[in-house]
Structure 1
Amino acid sequence: MDTHNVVALPVVSRVAVCGGTHGNELSGVYLVRERLKRREDGTEPVSVVTLMSNPRAVQLCVRYVETDLNRCFTRAALSAPVSEDSPYEMIRSRELNALLGPKGSVQAVDLLCDLHNTTANTGLCLITHSDCDWIALHICKHLQREMSSTPVRYVHFDLPLDEAYSLDSVGKHGFAMEVGPQPHGLVRSGIFSAMQEGVQLMLDWIWQFNSGTLFEGGSVDIFTMVKNIDYPRDPQTHMITAAVHPDLQDRDFCLLHPGEPMFLSFSGETLRYRGKEALYPFFINEAAYYEKGVALSLARKRRVEIPSVRSDTQR
């Protein structure tokens, strides 16, 4: 290997694993509870802060109490004034930012992994606002190689740091680890095990990286979100008038071509995709997104080359 083309990066000394940002996404909730039971036994390969992001929502087994916590971490939201009458999640976001950040600062945790579930058939996704985070991309590559039973994908929401709204954006490096399909309010053992394996593989990679292992570069497919598609709605009542078409349901990250079925109206009419280019749907029929007016998201896929990396302690 040509060591002149190796990128040396700072060690990842402070890691946070968060669950329960949405209180009814139970794989992350139970994984955090299990980790908290044994966090003092010294078996972890790296030092990790483990915490429950939204304990009130977890206690009630709801997505949120007053407002979506995972939309409270833009720079504007974090700097807005709060009072005792502010929504609980707005106040909690300040606490998390103080504990794990502040966002964008040198004091922020080196890597923040926020655990989520989706009702959509996504497999395991690492979702981030950055498409050139070599640490996150190498972790994705590692998971893809090691997790033979679960598809692993890297999903990019193209947002500047100030506008990134999710908890993971507080860390210097960060991503949501989204695993599905799993209905909200329950836990499926296979989905829990996939998340548990993903977290352990992430920590193993960080330990090897911090120990000086040189990781070869290569290629990773990135799915960049292009737009959201709402359900067809009645123009007067705004109630939905169709469901996701059976030919599209559960086909997350399968290429959708113009003219292919997208919705089936409640009167029996097939409504087709009218876009001009083939794109990759994901979060298809996600239960929590009905309130947000999102039936599915569409992404464009591209393959990127990532450099070889090692920790800068080996310079």
Structure 2
Amino acid sequence: MSKNSSEREFIFTLSQFENPQILEKELNLKLAGLELETKFAGLKIDMYGIEQDLGVEVFVENVLLKSDYSHQYRLLKLIEAIDKGIIIYQAVGFKDKYVKQLRDKILNSSKKVNLYFVTINPELFKGIDLLNSGTHKLKVYENLHILNEVSNPIQLQKEMSIIRPIKGNKKYREKIDWDFTNREDVNNYLLLQLRERIPYFLSFQRQKSNLDNMRIIPCGFGKSGVSLMLTVEDMRYRAFVELRFREFSPPIYYKIKEREEKAKELIGEELKFLDDKHTITYSFKSRGRSVRETVDRLVDVAEKFILAFSNDVLYGEEERLDMWEEFEYSL
């Protein structure tokens, strides 16, 4: 996980998520069902998936520094939580005492866990830093390809690693049959459509937890105190997209409200500004519509929200000339 609000580690992980053959080739694995920032045993896993041939879970932890205490603690907790699987630990370098501690933790147990130590090539950092701080946040996804210019991005450290024959019964099967009477399926279908049609909004790429009982899905909007909220159906049978402002963010809300009429032209007359809640909302009746039809409309509205409001939410006036992009729906 990145520190100080930086997306550097997430950008690195996302590039591997989009190009899994990088890990597959270097580690001789076959990965499927990859997810970003999955919750597991109370931990947030940078990337999670299934090794299809071995039938075991794969957990990837990344740090764009030398191995440190915080990541060491997380990996020790992860080892305690699993009985079988593959852990891939990627860092610029590894401290000997941490390597020994992790190896001992596994070898002194009866757990069938393989541990891959993988070094990250620092030549990647120039591109990562450009994407993190020199690229408009809605343009990062389409420019991930610049990281592919580094020919040897990672290297397996075989002498450190624990690689033994293991076999499990885990299999990834792509979801094709959706049960729209099931809330988890409805939420997963909505997230799938958001990821496929608006992949450049990186918050959608992160896996959400508790989808089986969550009626409203929250997505960070890149700034503390601002959230994009979506639901296929609330308690009043409405579907909606909302941009909610909390903490120190109300000034951004009122700045956007100065262009309320323009916003309605771009998104629709159903758009409302709720001053008492510092919320911009677009809702419509979901009852009588199919889930697919409702989701199609929600995704369309969500994209208009993102394109219209991102510049104001993500960048202040002082950054306007340097970073702002003119999008089709931008205010």
Query: TM over 0.5, yes or no?
Result: no
> Greater helix share, 1 or 2?
2
Provide TM-score, normalisation by structure 1: 0.27
Q: Which is greater in Rg?
A: 2
